[in-house]
């Protein structure tokens, strides 16, 4: 049977590609780390690390073994946390994969409040693209996901989280800044900064514009950026207009650096969903957070996004 201690040492060494760094991380001596790695290699009958150069490298066997050991160690930790959590307290770790700009603003506040109630839970918010969230959940690298589309995979389930409002922003000195509203047709030919086509913002905007026989290509795209904050900053500097989540522009709007302009008959909001794997191993922290986000005491946080 493989020794769990040796597997933990292998994992640290593989992640750091350094025996000395693994020793420092695990509070062991370097000879002790080397001794355990050699013992593990002897048990398995293969070399896990290539030591022929100054830099330690994983062998093919080591590369194949790494993800499985990582999952085994994580599952072992979660088993201990699950058992400890049966003693009334909710303990453990919670990993949330988030692909939305609004979620990035809202989730840390939810996490902080949840930690105040359950100080034994450590929460990590993993920023990633929308296409990466589902694999993270299915491979159990994350416990929960926050996305701008409803999960349809048979292994996943979702719940409504909140509505994210998307607004048109312009530089503060733009002629539209003094108007109550514009017509959709006035967007044609305007210099605009877009999010990437696969983003939730772009999808919602394309659908709404299509109702007025307008496409994204009818506007003069100055830049395509994958970061809402970068877009707002660029608009504030006078380089075009853009549609962004209102919460991403809140600071610049409050300081008068950009202006929000209404567009008649354009309903721009998207539902944000929280997603989890249906048959995920029991995790009381995940179950508690799943219900926590919709407790009445947290309505103020949801209103920040929905304002």
Q: Does position 209 have pLDDT exceeding 60, yes or no?
A: yes
pLDDT digits (tens, 9 = 90+) for 38-61: 988 888 889 999 887 778 889 998
Q: Looking at residue 145, what is its pLDDT?
A: 92
Mean pLDDT, the chain, integer: 87
- Domains of the chain, by residue range, sit at 4-84, 92-162+271-306, 165-270
pTM of full prediction above 0.85: no
Percent above pLDDT 90 for the chain: 39
Q: Looking at residue 84, what is its pLDDT?
A: 58
Q: Which CATH class is domain 92-162+271-306?
A: alpha beta
Q: Looking at residue 112, what is its pLDDT?
A: 95
Burial class (CB in 10 A: 0-12, 13-18, 19+), 285: buried
**pLDDT interval class at 283 (50, 70, 90):** confident
pLDDT digits (tens, 9 = 90+) for 137-171: 888 889 999 988 887 667 888 999 988 899 999 99
**pLDDT interval class at 176 (50, 70, 90):** very high
Q: Looking at residue 281, what is its pLDDT?
A: 57
Exposure string for 222-235, b = 16+ CB within 10 A, e = fewer = beebeebeebbbbb
165-270: which CATH architecture?
3-Layer(aba) Sandwich (3.40)
pLDDT digits (tens, 9 = 90+) for 245-273: 999 999 999 999 999 999 999 988 888 99
4-84: which CATH architecture?
Orthogonal Bundle (1.10)
Q: Which residue intervals of the chain are DSSP H helices? A: 4-16, 19-26, 30-44, 60-84, 101-117, 130-138, 200-210, 228-236, 246-254, 284-292, 299-306
| Close Cβ partners of 277 (under 8 Å, ≥ 6 residues apart) | 137, 138, 140, 155, 156
Q: Does position 80 have pLDDT exceeding 70, yes or no?
A: no
Same fold, 4-84 and 165-270: no
């Amino acid at each position: 049977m493989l020794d769990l201690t040796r597997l933990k040492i292998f994992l640290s060494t593989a992640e750091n590609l350094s025996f000395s760094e693994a020793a420092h991380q695990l509070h062991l001596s370097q000879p002790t780390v080397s001794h355990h790695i050699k013992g593990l290699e002897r048990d398995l009958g293969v070399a896990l690390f290539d030591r022929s150069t100054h830099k330690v490298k994983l062998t093919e066997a080591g590369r194949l073994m790494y993800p499985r050991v990582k999952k085994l160690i994580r599952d072992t930790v979660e088993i201990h946390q699950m058992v400890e959590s049966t003693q009334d307290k909710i303990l453990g770790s919670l990993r949330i994969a988030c692909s939305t700009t609004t979620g990035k603003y809202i989730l840390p506040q939810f996490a902080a409040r949840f930690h105040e109630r359950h100080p034994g839970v450590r929460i990590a918010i993993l920023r990633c693209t929308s296409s990466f969230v589902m694999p993270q959940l299915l491979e159990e690298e994350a416990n929960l996901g926050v996305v701008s589309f409803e999960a349809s995979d048979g292994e996943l389930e979702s719940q409504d989280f909140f509505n994210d409002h998307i607004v048109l922003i312009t530089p503060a000195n733009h002629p539209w800044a003094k108007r109550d509203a514009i017509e959709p047709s006035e967007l044609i030919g305007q210099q605009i900064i877009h999010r990437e086509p696969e983003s939730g913002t772009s999808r919602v905007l394309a659908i709404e514009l299509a109702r007025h026989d307008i496409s994204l290509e009818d506007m003069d795209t100055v830049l395509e950026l994958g970061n809402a904050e970068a877009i707002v900053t660029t608009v504030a500097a006078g380089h075009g207009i853009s549609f962004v989540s209102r919460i991403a522009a809140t600071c610049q709007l409050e300081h008068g650096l950009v202006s929000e302009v209404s567009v008649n008959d354009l309903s721009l909001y998207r539902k944000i969903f929280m997603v989890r794997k249906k048959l995920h191993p029991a995790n009381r922290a995940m179950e508690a957070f799943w219900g926590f986000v919709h407790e009445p005491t947290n309505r103020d946080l949801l209103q920040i996004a929905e304002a």
